[in-house]
């Protein structure tokens, strides 16, 4: 196929390259990151989130298998316009299915459609880039396309999450504030608050009634047995009345457990039991301590019955005051028409080391989370419909962009010959090991980073809001990632890929220590959290340069385009497989041990690097 263009009507590349690569990045970040945060806000377990969203990597893993179809049928311009319409339809399907009872399975189906359409869009967009520009323009705009792809990442992980957080808070009721005080002068009597006092009648206004607004309790320690008894009453009440979802087993799950496979009997179940026995974390206030901090119970009710299918989720978090006071039960409570006349309980605890008095303010915000995310995805759907119509008008018409149905037999033979030539290399074992293992730690971290920031503090998380995660991780983190990638490219051009290889390997693994620190310290200061996330992302951007340069290096030769596509498939596989079990592992061993495990994953990632052989001058800028 000729690479020169003969467009009957020239288009300024600035009118379509930025929008095309922005459209390429948005579906990817929605499937990989935004969906993770959305499901977390819906109360889906980390195990299910990591498993099912990791499968969404599969279209990018296997996209080299159907890339010839894009060449054989229609034009790449046609594929771009149609795929953007289908992506818009998939986003609209997610928006419409979120309010439904079986939303999890239905939204996953539409996300699968989104992922396959996005992978196909990537093939056609990258091919069209080479057809719509001459060689000089291709070199000039390569940085521009990368920049707008990064902007799409920032939009998805930052602005979209902030937007969803805004809708979450704006669709809710008036916030509540609870003043919690502990000290030696307060009563040591612990009891459940009076239901009638906590549920004043309201015929017109809907709000959360709280009793007492000021919770005062003694700082004197109580026995662990007493704490467990009170916590059990609070937890069972919230679960029984539907304020907190119960991870119960249905009959099919029981039957499945009875009919375990050999894999489960011999490997997965013994491994799970071993991890639980030796590494399972207990939350604050566990019964492993003889004397623990005292507690106070606060009751919450909804004054007016909501609509039949409406849910109001109350998220209560620490806002200001002394960090010696914690909320250990009831951080996320779901109110609906079935439990509106029931009482939900919040359980507060003080540090057993507290000697004097302490005060803290906890703020509860509510919102229709399903409605908020439906609006967010509906906005995305409209955006992609508009992008499709825009590109139908603005994309050029290169003469070389044509279907090749008449050449299908020769092309298919060449396609399989190209595949075989990639796997006949002498160093194929080293290549595949590097591609799959280089990011084995990062693949697990990226799945659990957002749930870690959103999870309540008593579960080992940081207890941040959706908007805070969007700002700290999605915006500053992506900017740091971009800066690290730019620096990595500059460094490689100065001294070559071989010189920086080991530095980049360490850069992509060692900064995971930032999450080890966050899991142990659980800092309240958002600046500290943001700096840790930015450091990790900057280092990842720098270290990922080695990955990209190695893929380019192994793709050199006659079939460089096809070989690079195969390499990107294994790159996606290296992200998909570790990510699938990351949620299962984290829920067993807790965040602290999970991030320590991430650090240990640098060992298999480093082994293939010892066997890599590259030319010393590869990657260096050629002197004129």
pLDDT in tens, 440-469: 888 888 888 888 888 877 678 887 776 677
Sign for the pseudo-dihedral over CA of 593, 595, 598, 602: negative
Per-residue pLDDT tens over the stretch 480-533: 877 887 788 778 778 877 888 899 899 988 889 999 999 998 888 888 988 888
Rounded to an integer, what is the distance from CA 155 to the centroid of its chain? Answer: 14
Evaluate whether 118 touches 28 at the Cβ level (below 8 Å).
yes
pLDDT at 289: 41
Peptide linkage before 212 cis (omega within 30 of 0): yes
Of the segments 42-51, 346-355, 369-378, 561-570, which one has the largest average pLDDT value? 369-378
Q: List the chain domain ranges.
A: 1-171+368-403, 176-248+273-367, 419-624
Evaluate whether 31 touches 60 at the Cβ level (below 8 Å).
no
Q: Is the pLDDT of residue 316 over 60?
A: yes
Q: Calculate the dihedral angle through the C-alpha atoms of 586, 589, 594, 596, rounding to the nearest 10 degrees.
A: 180
Q: Is the pLDDT of residue 248 over 90?
A: no
Kindly indicate whether the domain formed by 419-624 is annotated with CATH number 2.30.110.10: no
For residue 448, which of 317, 569, 592 has the smallest C-alpha distance? Answer: 592
Per-residue pLDDT tens over the stretch 579-597: 888 888 888 888 888 999 9
pLDDT at 264: 57
Q: Which CATH class is domain 1-171+368-403?
A: mainly alpha
Rounded to an integer, what is the distance from CA 321 to the centroid of its chain? Answer: 31
**Kind of pairing between the strands at 358-367 and 312-321:** antiparallel
Distance CA 334, CA 337 (A): 10
Over range 349-353, report the average pLDDT.
83
DSSP 623: P
Local confidence band at 403 (pLDDT 50, 70, 90 cut-offs): low
Q: Is the pLDDT of residue 273 over 70?
A: no
Local confidence band at 575 (pLDDT 50, 70, 90 cut-offs): confident
For residue 446, which of 535, 533, 542 has the smallest C-alpha distance? Answer: 533
pLDDT at 486: 77
Q: Report in angstroms the alpha-carbon separations of 561 from 130, 329, 558.
A: 11, 55, 9
Of the segments 151-165, 238-252, 373-387, which one has the largest average pLDDT value? 373-387
Per-residue pLDDT tens over the stretch 207-242: 888 888 888 888 888 888 888 889 889 989 988 888
Cβ partners under 8 Å of residue 74, min gap 6: 403
Q: 556: burial class by Cβ within 10 Å (0-12, 13-18, 19+)?
A: exposed
Beta strands in 240-294 (DSSP E): 291-292
pLDDT at 170: 77
Evaluate whether 534 touches 473 at the Cβ level (below 8 Å).
no
Cβ partners under 8 Å of residue 15, min gap 6: 394
Percent of the chain with pLDDT over 90: 15
pLDDT at 348: 92
Distance CA 354, CA 90 (A): 53
pLDDT at 244: 84
Of the segments 37-46, 560-569, 589-598, which one has the largest average pLDDT value? 589-598
Q: Is the pLDDT of residue 132 over 80?
A: no
Cβ partners under 8 Å of residue 505, min gap 6: 438, 543, 546, 605, 606, 609
Cβ partners under 8 Å of residue 526, min gap 6: 464, 468, 472
What are 212's two structure tokens?
Answer: 């007492």
Helix, coil or strand: residue 323: coil
Distance CA 167, CA 372 (A): 5
pLDDT at 255: 40
pLDDT at 330: 86
Q: Is the pLDDT of residue 272 over 80?
A: no
pLDDT at 408: 47
Cβ partners under 8 Å of residue 486, min gap 6: 541
Per-residue pLDDT tens over the stretch 525-556: 888 988 888 898 888 888 887 887 787 778 77
Q: Is the pLDDT of residue 473 over 70?
A: no
1-171+368-403 shares its CATH topology with 419-624 = yes
Cβ partners under 8 Å of residue 144, min gap 6: 17, 18
pLDDT at 134: 66
What are 557's two structure tokens?
Answer: 């030769």
pLDDT at 621: 56
Q: Calculate the dihedral angle through the C-alpha atoms of 316, 322, 323, 324, rounding to the nearest 10 degrees.
A: -110
Q: Is the pLDDT of residue 164 over 70?
A: yes
Other beta carbons less than 10 A from residue 193's beta carbon: 18
Rounded to an integer, what is the distance from CA 396 to the centroid of its chain? Answer: 36
Distance CA 357, CA 184 (A): 7
pLDDT at 143: 52
User: Average pLDDT of the chain?
Assistant: 79
Q: Is the pLDDT of residue 198 over 60?
A: no
Helices 560-600 and 269-279 meet at what angle, rounded to 10?
40
Helix, coil or strand: residue 559: coil
Over range 31-43, report the average pLDDT.
85
Q: Report in angstroms the alpha-carbon separations of 552 from 122, 547, 565, 618.
A: 18, 9, 10, 10
When mean pLDDT is compared across 10-24, 410-424, 507-521, the lowest value belongs to 410-424
Evaluate whether 619 touches 497 at the Cβ level (below 8 Å).
yes
């Amino acid at each position: 196929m000729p690479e020169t263009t003969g467009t009957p009507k020239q288009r300024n590349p600035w009118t379509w390259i930025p929008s095309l690569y922005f459209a390429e990045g948005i579906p990817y970040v929605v499937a990989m990151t935004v969906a993770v945060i959305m499901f977390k806000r819906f109360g889906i377990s980390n195990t299910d989130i990591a498993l099912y969203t990791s499968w969404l990597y599969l279209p990018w893993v296997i996209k080299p298998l159907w890339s010839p179809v894009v060449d054989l049928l229609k034009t790449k311009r046609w594929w771009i316009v149609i795929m953007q319409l289908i992506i818009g339809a998939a986003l609209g399907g997610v928006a419409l299915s979120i309010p439904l009872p079986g939303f999890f399975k239905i939204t996953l189906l539409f996300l699968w459609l989104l992922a396959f359409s996005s992978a196909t869009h990537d093939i056609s967009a990258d091919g069209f880039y080479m057809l719509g520009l001459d060689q000089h323009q291709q070199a000039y705009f390569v940085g521009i396309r990368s920049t707008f792809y990064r902007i799409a990442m920032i939009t998805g992980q930052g602005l979209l999450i902030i937007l969803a957080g805004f809708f979450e808070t704006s669709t809710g009721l008036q916030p509540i504030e609870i003043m919690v005080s502990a000290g030696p002068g307060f009563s040591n009597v612990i009891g459940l608050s009076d239901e009638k006092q906590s549920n004043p009648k309201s015929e017109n206004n809907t709000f959360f009634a709280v009793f007492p607004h000021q919770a005062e309790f003694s700082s004197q320690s109580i026995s662990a047995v007493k704490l467990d008894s009170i916590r059990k009453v609070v937890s069972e009440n919230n679960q029984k009345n539907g304020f907190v979802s119960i991870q119960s087993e249905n009959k099919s799950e029981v039957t499945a457990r009875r009919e375990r496979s050999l894999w489960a009997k011999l490997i997965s179940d013994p491994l799970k039991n071993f991890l639980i026995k030796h590494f399972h974390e207990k939350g604050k206030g566990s019964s492993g301590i003889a004397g623990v901090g005292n507690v106070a119970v606060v009751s919450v009710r909804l004054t007016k019955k909501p609509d039949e299918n409406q849910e109001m989720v109350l998220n209560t978090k620490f806002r200001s005051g002394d960090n010696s006071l914690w909320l250990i039960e009831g951080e996320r409570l779901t109110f609906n028409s079935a439990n509106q006349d029931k009482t939900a309980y919040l359980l507060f605890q003080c540090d057993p080391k507290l000697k004097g008095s302490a005060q803290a303010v906890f703020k509860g915000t509510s919102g229709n989370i399903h409605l908020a995310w439906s609006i967010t995805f509906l906005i995305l759907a409209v955006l992609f419909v508009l992008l499709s119509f825009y590109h139908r008008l603005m994309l050029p018409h290169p003469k070389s962009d044509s279907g090749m149905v008449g050449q299908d037999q020769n092309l298919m033979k060449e396609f399989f010959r190209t595949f075989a030539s990639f796997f006949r290399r002498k160093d194929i074992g080293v290549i595949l090991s590097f591609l799959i293992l280089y990011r084995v730690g990062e693949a697990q971290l990226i799945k659990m980073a957002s749930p870690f920031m959103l999870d309540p503090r008593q579960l080992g998380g940081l207890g941040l809001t959706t908007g805070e995660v969007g700002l700290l991780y999605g915006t500053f983190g992506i900017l740091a990632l971009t800066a690290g990638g730019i620096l990595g490219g500059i460094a490689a051009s100065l001294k070559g890929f071989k010189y920086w290889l080991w530095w980049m390997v360490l850069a992509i693994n060692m900064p995971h220590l930032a999450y080890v620190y966050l899991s142990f310290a659980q800092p309240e200061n958002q600046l500290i959290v943001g700096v840790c996330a930015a450091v990790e992302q900057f280092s990842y951007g720098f270290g990922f340069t080695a990955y990209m340069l190695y893929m380019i290096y192994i793709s050199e030769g006659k079939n460089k385009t096809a070989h690079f596509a195969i390499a990107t498939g294994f790159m996606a596989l290296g992200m998909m497989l570790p990510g699938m079990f990351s949620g299962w592992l984290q829920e067993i061993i807790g965040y602290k041990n999970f991030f320590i495990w991430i650090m240990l994953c640098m060992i298999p990632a480093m082994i293939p690097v010892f066997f890599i052989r590259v030319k010393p001058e590869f990657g260096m800028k050629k002197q004129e």
